[in-house]
Amino acid sequence: MLEHAKTSIVLGLETPGGEVVPSSYYLVLSAVLFGLGVIAFVFKRNILTIFMSIELMLNAVNLAFVTFSRALGQLQGQVFVFFVIVVAAAEAAVGLAIVILIHRNRGTLNVERVDSLKD
C-alpha cells in the first residue's frame, strides 16, 4: 500500500484535498493549449493575436516541462521553464515595440497588408 502511494505521488500532483491528479491530465491540457495556439497562429491575421498564440504555445510547453519535472522528481525542467519565461518576456517587449512602430507607420495590424518593412 505504501509503495502505491509513493508511485501515485511521483506520477501525479497532489491537490489540497489529498487526491492525486494524474500527470496525464496536465499533459493533455498542455497538448490542447499548444494545439489552440497553433490553430490561432495559422488562421489569425491580426499581429497581436499571432503574438498571443505564440505566448500560448510557450506556456503550453512550460506546463509540459513542469509536469515532467514533477513526475521525474528533478528540477531541471523547472529551471528550463524559468529561462523560457525570461525569453518570452523579452520577445513580448521587442515584439510589442515593433507592433507599435508598424501601427504608427501603416495604421493597420493586419499581416497581409504589412508585407515589407520598407516605407
Which pLDDT tens digit goes with each residue over 73-94? 889 989 999 999 999 999 899 9
With respect to residue 16, please indicate whether it lies within any of the assigned structural domains. yes
Q: How many domains does the chain have?
A: 1
pLDDT digits (tens, 9 = 90+) for 86-116: 999 998 999 899 888 888 887 877 777 776 6
pTM: 0.76
Residue 118 lies in a domain: no
In a domain, 111, yes or no: no
Range of the domain at 40: 2-106
Which one-letter amino acid corresponds to residue 11? L
**CATH code, 77:** 1.10.287.3510
d(CA 54, CA 98): 16
Q: Residues 10-26: pLDDT tens digits?
A: 556 666 776 788 889 99
Report d(CA 54, CA 88) in Å as an integer: 9
User: Does residue 87 lie within any of the structural domains?
Assistant: yes
